[in-house]
Structure 1
Amino acid sequence: MELHIVINGRKDLAAQLYQQLREAIAAGRLTAGAQLPPSRLLAEQLGISRKTVSDTYATLTYEGLLVGRIGRGTFVNAWAPQPDRVQTATDLACSANLAKWQALPSPMHHPANDKRLRYEFIGGATSRQQFPQDEWRRCTQHALRRIAEHSGFYSQPEGLPALRSAIAGHIAFSRGVNCRDSDIVVTNGAQQALDLLARVVLEPGSIVAMEDPGYTPARQLFTALGAHVASVPVDAQGIQVDQIPDGTRLIYVTPSHQFPLGMPMSPARREALLARAFDLGAIIIEDDYDSEFRYEGRPTDSLQSLDSRGVVAYVGTFSKTLLPELRLGYVVLPPAIHGAVLKAKLLTDQHSSTLPQWALAKFISEGYLLKHIRRCHTVYAGRRERILERLAGDLSPWFEAVPTVAGFHLAALCKVPVNIALLRELARQVDVGLYPLEVFFHDAPVRAGLIVGFGAIELLDIDPALDRVRDILLKIA
């Protein structure tokens, strides 16, 4: 890539070059540490003498803007003066909107690699040791070959046909979802699916009914788009349908594994919810984020499989079954909103990256995904069982588990007053990551406790970690 320098005429060549390089450094276009072209190469590109370039480099080096490194070249000095900030956020006309976005909390923000603790009970994360590296590598190589066979045009916004077909077959088999390939839109994770649905259904001031406690990132998304989120309490059967307000346009639920408490929605409540949405003219978002991992009782069908009215948008993700970094999800759309969501996807990002799409299509079609889920199911079942044993044993004076039969997190409610903030801080000091339940309550009375994820912690690490938690509780509670 050539350095952008424009030489006009043949007068004052050194001055022109000096001024443009200095301005580029001052404006930040040439950043600290950036390497400049060798003097001979830059002279050839600009059609000027090498001496002119060398002299200019020398002048800027003397002024402290450049630094020469023997055998390596000439670089922008890391200590070069940085440009003054002309504007601050408060100076802008959009300052109030910026403040609104910056004020949004990040209750499920995963720590960076270098800040992760040895023992992590974070929800929504998976153990890299379980990821089938060899199978995925073969599928990625297949994806590279498929991309090489195609021209350099953009792909379809709804996703590759091969992947949509594979997803349709997989969710019909594992979750009883009733759909065709054409009903599916591939997204960048489940969060983009929620964003697309909200964009086409909601307007500023629209009402969204949502479980409380519930998935906070979804609540924040709906609020950021100008919607009014109505908190609807949950009980042992799920969302209390009779408290969904009139005028609701969108209903967000997690019926198979209520987030964060974990209980499934009862069949009677599901039927009532479908009828209520139809009467309101509302769309239901069924977020089926981790119900492929089930440990007790009979499997439950998806809410979408019961929908004969065309009101359910079924959202799924591969972040939980494979890796969060893949950022691949999907939504099964009811006919009424299919065209609008597809247009929103096209305008948002054209389409999701095709390389992981090709790889995932191969991964599913070759049976690797089901094999991986079965293998993980055994692993997660063992971790879950051990955590439940500890909660029913030496941790029982302080916590009790909420009954749950699926997923890879569970909720542990406080039986006695516990300073959760202090417990978290002291646990971090002994390399244990704990996460409070309270951040998922909005208007409902807060129930103190922990959300205990077991996707990212190894079985042999559970007891040492919980021993440390118990020892802290003995001191503070």
Structure 2
Amino acid sequence: MDVHVSLVGRRDLAGQIYRQLRAAILDGRLRAGEALPPTRELAARLEISRNTVAVAYDRLAAEGFLESRVGAGTFVRETGSAARGAPAASPLRPRRGWDGLDLWPAPMPGVTWDFRAGLPDVRLFPYEAWRRIMAGLLRPSALAGAGSAGDPAGLPELRAAIARHAGVTRSVRAGARDVVVTAGVQQALDLIVRVLLEPGDTVAVEDPGYPPARMLFEAAGMRVRGVPVDAEGLRVDALPDAARAVYVTPSHQFPLGMPMSLPRRRALLDWARRREVVIVEDDYDTEYRYGGRPIEPLQSLDADGRVLYTGTFSKIMRPVLRLGFLVAPPSLHHAFRMARYVSSWHAEVPAQAALARFIDEGLLARHIRRSRREYEARHRRVAELVGEWFGDRLALVPSAAGLHLSARLTDGADDAELARRALDAGVGLYALSEFAVTGPPVRGLVLGYGAVAPPEIEAGLRRLRDVIARPA
């Protein structure tokens, strides 16, 4: 293996090598059974005498850290020491706000019935087609120009493909130049914060709403204000006067599920125009709509260029494919390109090229059509069973889109406690109260059906019915 040893000055060279290798073994950087470079090789690399390296190796062997094997080389011995981390004592402290954040959602290992919202069924993904495209892109001839990172805004062919896809499937008005490729919606929000907002600015979010978005704004030093939603979506009349930005999910409110009505969308655009506020539209799963009139995005209704539109491919493809996009007006093109450059330079080039081809060959559209039929059947089945089995305890929020359904608890029971008991019984789901921002929490359950195979939906909901029926 490649062992890093650096020498400071020319005094006690054997001692320096000894101390650095001993520390690496104790820290766990060099593990038991790993081979060290031959003394001749390490000496040549350090431009010192081979005998000097041999002295250090002999000392480590005498102390039980190394062992020599005839004809094989020198290896690290089992020391029984656990790997050591960075020094525990440090004067460095994070900026205010980071200590109060926790990962969301909390891990749910080993659940039998996974009703968590937002998870697609990875078994529906056309892996063979994706593998074929990736294999072609990873051939040496295809990688001839891969030494250049390319445009921080993304590969031109992917930006063009996204613009076409979003225009056809979402009615988004965008050309390739308006698209910035991101590592999902969360990075798009991070770019927006750094380009348009200042610490201390007020950001209005839906209440209940998407926790990672709120956490990102808070970590950046924003003042986050929750705005209540009703059957028509975000209540524009409750928006704070001080808001500099509004984050909304108008096509499918997260987590409740209702769309924002057309009058309410127009009212929000008018409010933002009068107050010179930016609207961040998160359209996270609009491809999965199962009935009713299509929802026109705020971005397509916007005549003033105040809406920044974000989307992701994680819900329709695979969560591990961290690719999304941001659509911005021309006045922000340069700033977003530079913000992308200074934060992470660019997204993974092979994955970008593969997604562009996946879209252009019609494979994404075909996958969406197939998976939409599957998810619509699951949506219908979950709604039927909740009505039959939980009608006296849960009231479904009307929704005709997405990968989850939400239901309010009619008796005001502790939804967090119900979610904990369900997890103990092998059912993973979210409590609606987890999504509260600043207002009183809505009590209920969020039932995702993307990751639950159809034969398991009934069994999982039957187990949940047993949990709810049992007294706490």
After superposition, the Cα gap between the structure-2 partners of 1:433 and 1:11, relative to the gap in structure 1 and judged at 3 Å, is closer
For residue 132 of structure 1, the aligned residue among 126, 129, 152 is 126
After superposition, the Cα gap between the structure-2 partners of 1:202 and 1:31, relative to the gap in structure 1 and judged at 3 Å, is farther
Question: In the TM superposition, what are the counterparts of 1:71-150 in structure 2 within 5 Å?
Answer: 73-75=74-76, 77-80=78-81, 86-88=87-89, 91-95=90-94, 97=96, 100-109=97-106, 111=108, 115-145=109-139, 147-150=142-145
Moved more, 428-437 or 232-241: 428-437
- 8 Å CA contact 1:32–1:79 kept in 2: the answer is no
The offset of 1:116, in angstroms, is 3.8
Give the unaligned 5+ runs of structure 1.
none
Q: What secondary structure is seen at the aligned counterpart in 1 of 2:180? A: strand
Q: Is residue 52 of structure 2 the alignment partner of residue 57 of structure 1?
A: no
- 8 Å CA contact 2:225–2:437 kept in 1: the answer is no
Q: What secondary structure is seen at the aligned counterpart in 1 of 2:258? A: coil
Question: In the TM superposition, what are the counterparts of 1:26-65 in structure 2 within 5 Å?
Answer: 30=30, 34-39=34-39, 41-42=41-42, 45=45, 53=53, 56-65=56-65
For residue 213 of structure 1, the aligned residue among 208, 222, 231 is 208
The offset of 1:427, in angstroms, is 2.3
**In 1: Cα distance, 2:448 partner to 2:153 partner:** 32
The offset of 1:3, in angstroms, is 2.8
Q: Is residue 291 of structure 2 the alignment partner of residue 291 of structure 1?
A: no
- 8 Å CA contact 1:38–1:74 kept in 2: the answer is no
The offset of 1:22, in angstroms, is 2.7
**In 2: Cα distance, 1:399 partner to 1:124 partner:** 21
The offset of 1:397, in angstroms, is 2.1
- 8 Å CA contact 2:31–2:76 kept in 1: the answer is no
Amino acid across the alignment from 1:141:
A
Moved more, 156-165 or 298-307: 298-307
User: What is the CA deviation profile of residues 113-165 of structure 1, one whole-angstrom value per residue up to 9, with x for unaligned ones?
Assistant: xx241210111111111111011112212332475131512210110110011
User: What is the CA deviation profile of residues 179-217 of structure 1, one whole-angstrom value per residue up to 9, with x for unaligned ones?
Assistant: 111000000111100110111111111111111111111
Question: In the TM superposition, what are the counterparts of 1:25-424 in structure 2 within 5 Å?
Answer: 25=25, 30=30, 34-39=34-39, 41-42=41-42, 45=45, 53=53, 56-66=56-66, 73-75=74-76, 77-80=78-81, 86-88=87-89, 91-95=90-94, 97=96, 100-109=97-106, 111=108, 115-145=109-139, 147-424=142-419
- 8 Å CA contact 1:65–1:80 kept in 2: the answer is no
For residue 462 of structure 2, the aligned residue among 462, 467, 470 is 467
Q: What secondary structure is seen at the aligned counterpart in 2 of 1:231? A: strand
Please report the TM-score for the alignment, with normalisation by the length of structure 2: 0.91
The offset of 1:256, in angstroms, is 0.3
Number of equivalenced pairs:
470
Q: Is residue 454 of structure 2 the alignment partner of residue 446 of structure 1?
A: no
Q: What secondary structure is seen at the aligned counterpart in 2 of 1:326? A: coil
**In 2: Cα distance, 1:326 partner to 1:455 partner:** 16
Tell me the equivalent position of 2:4.
Answer: 4
- 8 Å CA contact 2:27–2:82 kept in 1: the answer is no
**In 2: Cα distance, 1:206 partner to 1:283 partner:** 12
The offset of 1:259, in angstroms, is 0.6
For residue 430 of structure 2, the aligned residue among 430, 435, 456 is 435
- 8 Å CA contact 2:30–2:76 kept in 1: the answer is no
Tell me the equivalent position of 2:22.
Answer: 22
User: What is the CA deviation profile of residues 211-235 of structure 1, one whole-angstrom value per residue up to 9, with x for unaligned ones?
Assistant: 1111111111111111111211111
- 8 Å CA contact 1:64–1:80 kept in 2: the answer is no
Please report the TM-score for the alignment, with normalisation by the length of structure 1: 0.91
Moved more, 64-73 or 236-245: 64-73
**In 2: Cα distance, 1:165 partner to 1:243 partner:** 38
The offset of 1:59, in angstroms, is 3.1
Moved more, 317-326 or 197-206: 197-206
**In 2: Cα distance, 1:13 partner to 1:226 partner:** 49
Q: What secondary structure is seen at the aligned counterpart in 2 of 1:256? A: coil
Moved more, 6-15 or 424-433: 6-15
User: What is the CA deviation profile of residues 328-351 of structure 1, one whole-angstrom value per residue up to 9, with x for unaligned ones?
Assistant: 000110233332222211111111
- 8 Å CA contact 2:425–2:467 kept in 1: the answer is no
Q: What secondary structure is seen at the aligned counterpart in 2 of 1:226? A: coil
**In 1: Cα distance, 2:18 partner to 2:217 partner:** 51
The offset of 1:38, in angstroms, is 3.9
User: What is the CA deviation profile of residues 348-391 of structure 1, one whole-angstrom value per residue up to 9, with x for unaligned ones?
Assistant: 11111111000000000000001000111111011111111111
Moved more, 248-257 or 413-422: 413-422
Moved more, 67-76 or 355-364: 67-76
- 8 Å CA contact 1:201–1:250 kept in 2: the answer is no
Identity of aligned residues (%): 44
User: What is the CA deviation profile of residues 442-471 of structure 1, one whole-angstrom value per residue up to 9, with x for unaligned ones?
Assistant: 222212111111111111111111111111
Amino acid across the alignment from 1:466:
L
After superposition, the Cα gap between the structure-2 partners of 1:186 and 1:15, relative to the gap in structure 1 and judged at 3 Å, is closer
**In 2: Cα distance, 1:84 partner to 1:131 partner:** 40
Moved more, 204-213 or 423-432: 423-432
The offset of 1:248, in angstroms, is 1.8
The offset of 1:301, in angstroms, is 1.5
Amino acid across the alignment from 1:108:
P
User: What is the CA deviation profile of residues 25-47 of structure 1, one whole-angstrom value per residue up to 9, with x for unaligned ones?
Assistant: 45766466654224564456557
Amino acid across the alignment from 2:99:
Q
